[in-house]
Structure 1
Amino acid sequence: MKPAANPFHPDLQRAARLIPNITATRPLLAVMRFLMRFQSTPRAPEDVAVEDVQVPGSAGAPPVRVRTYRPRRTVQGPTPALLWIHGGGYIMGRPEQDDVLCVEFARELGIFVASVDYRLAPEHPFPAPLEDCYAALRWLFAQAGALSVLPERIAIGGASAGGGLTAALAQLAHDRKEVRPTFQLLVYPMLDDRTTTRTDIDGTSHRAWNQGSNVFGWRAYLGREPGGAEVPAHAVPSRREDLSGLPPAWLGVGTCDLFHDEDLAYARRLEAAGVPCDVAVVPGAFHGFDVITRSAGVARDFRGLYTAALRRALFPSSGVA
């Protein structure tokens, strides 16, 4: 019998063989969080100022730590900004894990970047993580003048669960009508708890985040079994029926990503609702490939795509592709 073709992109095949198939559980979560705190962080760059600030939380909630990145080079006048939301399945992660990426955004685009240290499930289920992100976004708008930020050019973005929170934040901001981000950057976002109930998924090509972890993450975030008939408003972005009026979006995902189908379905629904949504599908790419295999050509190209999308959204008159 002829063996099945390798599903992974040539740049990712070696990494795909080495990544262990680990499913998140409550005991393992404590270990994973502990190890993440000892991840090496890059040396503070000379050309980008990095600072941690405490911003007011939502009513009755504690302050939210926001990690900011600002290019040191002289910029004439206020700049656009990006509110970035880290990934981690709603159950782990911290802004420091994306230091390299946020520094690159600030350096390459000449923008102010704020990364949110939101509370994590299961200790803090929905709506706490989303409310923390909303508090950070509201702070960014309220302090736009002091931060030398253009309030009409504030984008939101995130990867994985951070992408899911980005999509939910766009919906929440639309409904509350206090602040309006100009763009949403959705990097392989975790959007739909109903994926946990699918029995037709072949998970052999999934890496970094499998169906078992997906069930655990959504259960922790929702505080109930995922995939049920109803969920609270804004908890699951893909459950929202009316997507009209949301900010334009860019969405990228790999064909070997557990979120591939739910992501493309959401992108199609955005377009159908009149929301422009550019889509990038990377053949043979697994979840988080641009971080796990950062130096691979396909990873660099992918980052280049979403950086260019952010540039177009924040500098619409520049004419830069």
Structure 2
Amino acid sequence: MPRHPIDPESLGPLEADLAVLPGGLGSIPDIVERRARAKTLPGAAEVVDDPRVTKEDRTVPGPSGEPDVRVRIYRPVAASGALPGVYVIHGGGMIMGEVDGEDPVATMLCVELTAVVVSVEYRLAPEHPYPAGPEDCYAGLVWTAAHADELGIDPARLAVYGGSAGGGLAIATALMARDRSGPGLRLLMALYPMVDDRNETPSSRDVTDVGAWDRSTNVEAWGWYLGGREADAYAAPSRATDLGGLPPTYIDVGTVDLFLDEDVELAQRLLQAGVPTELHVLPGSYHASERRAPEAALSRRIWALRVGALRRALA
């Protein structure tokens, strides 16, 4: 059982999902069925159309010798000139997720920040284990930066953004950009990032039956993602021995999230490495609670903190 109580306003939508699917998505052993069922739960995100935003899907070059990568580009209709860019990496534990699921968030960021948003769809495990995911994400970032003029992006104002698995992949992508002399980043925003394959922290042992993203599901996902390989810094950023030289970083995580301890530890190490780091620990928030319960006061606070940080970084 988790040590901290769940925010009461955020609990209802989680209970509604669990009423439809007791045990949560992790109770479905077949990954193809699990992905399909995720789209039918009450809190599942839907593709939205906003008259203030244009959307375009493209296929861009993937890693050398590998398949092309799909991206979705969001542009504010009323804006002109070079705009800030936000490169979005979806979540899903490295085993689920797609750009459609990130559509509401990408649209919101496009409107709220008056920014061009590029959302990437990377290959998933277990069909495509590490390093397919981070290499796809990095290839999409390289393409975005190389086509900044065409996309209407100011290359000096580019952020990478991701939650959960997408947060871990955002950090891995930033590490690759540092190590490969790749695109410069104004901000790395990693929301409750999935960063440690070892599952040894107290919070990773405590959160076993919340129903959002629990220990057994996390252990299973890491096993599928690594596919028998030993984790390195790009697979599990907690294993990085050198975090220096990363862009300014924003991390948030809830007290009822199994990633709590690994994320706090990573933020401390970033600070010790000289990386300007903003960390928010959110009492009562379970994994991705702000997406399940968007009307809760806690969720509104979470989104305000994130959008504010992005605005400051991209100004």
- After TM superposition, the score normalised by the length of structure 2 is 0.91
- Partner residue, 2:276: 276
Distance 1:8 1:51, change over 3 A: same
- Partner residue, 1:291: 291
Q: What is the CA–CA distance in structure 1 between the aligned matches of 2:3 and 2:198, rounded to whole Å?
A: 29
TM-fit CA distance, 1:9: 1.4
C-alpha contact 1:83 1:154 (8 A) present in aligned 2: yes
Distance 1:196 1:5, change over 3 A: closer
Is 1:301 matched up with 2:305?
Answer: no
Distance 1:161 1:93, change over 3 A: same
Is 1:73 matched up with 2:78?
Answer: yes
Superposition map of 1:1-321 within 5 A: 7-18=5-16, 19=18, 20-22=22-24, 24=26, 27-36=29-38, 41-75=46-80, 77-195=81-199, 201-203=205-207, 206-224=210-228, 230-315=230-315
TM-fit CA distance, 1:133: 0.4
Q: Which amino acid aligns with 2:5?
A: P
Q: What is the CA–CA distance in structure 1 between the aligned matches of 2:188 and 2:177, rounded to whole Å?
A: 12
Q: What is the CA–CA distance in structure 1 between the aligned matches of 2:14 and 2:71, rounded to whole Å?
A: 33
- After TM superposition, the score normalised by the length of structure 1 is 0.90
Q: Which amino acid aligns with 1:215?
A: V
TM-fit CA distance, 1:104: 0.7
Report the secondary structure of 2:29's partner residue: helix
Distance 1:187 1:233, change over 3 A: closer
Q: Which amino acid aligns with 1:74?
A: A
TM-fit CA distance, 1:196: 5.6
Distance 1:205 1:283, change over 3 A: farther
Which consecutive unaligned segments of at least 5 residues does structure 2 have? none
C-alpha contact 2:98 2:121 (8 A) present in aligned 1: yes
| CA-atom RMSD in angstroms | 2.2
Q: Deviation above 4 Å: which 4+ runs of structure 1?
A: 36-40, 196-200
C-alpha contact 1:66 1:114 (8 A) present in aligned 2: yes
> Deviations along 1:171-211, whole A, 9 cap, x unmatched?
11100012222210011100111126869822256331001
TM-fit CA distance, 1:46: 0.7
Report the secondary structure of 2:256's partner residue: coil
Distance 1:43 1:198, change over 3 A: closer
> Deviations along 1:98-143, whole A, 9 cap, x unmatched?
1111111000110000111100001101111111101110011110
How many equivalent residue pairs? 307
Q: What is the CA–CA distance in structure 1 between the aligned matches of 2:113 and 2:25, rounded to whole Å?
A: 37
Report the secondary structure of 1:306's partner residue: helix
Q: What is the CA–CA distance in structure 2 between the aligned matches of 1:26 and 1:8, rounded to whole Å?
A: 24
Q: Which amino acid aligns with 1:282?
A: L
Q: What is the CA–CA distance in structure 2 between the aligned matches of 1:248 and 1:161, rounded to whole Å?
A: 19
C-alpha contact 1:182 1:248 (8 A) present in aligned 2: yes
> Deviations along 1:262-297, whole A, 9 cap, x unmatched?
000000000000001101111011001011111211
Q: What is the CA–CA distance in structure 1 between the aligned matches of 2:296 and 2:30, rounded to whole Å?
A: 29
Report the secondary structure of 2:205's partner residue: coil
Q: What is the CA–CA distance in structure 2 between the aligned matches of 1:36 and 1:121, rounded to whole Å?
A: 16
C-alpha contact 1:66 1:116 (8 A) present in aligned 2: yes
C-alpha contact 1:70 1:113 (8 A) present in aligned 2: yes
Distance 1:105 1:211, change over 3 A: same
Q: What is the CA–CA distance in structure 1 between the aligned matches of 2:203 and 2:268, rounded to whole Å?
A: 23
C-alpha contact 1:205 1:286 (8 A) present in aligned 2: no
TM-fit CA distance, 1:42: 4.0
Q: Which amino acid aligns with 1:113?
A: V
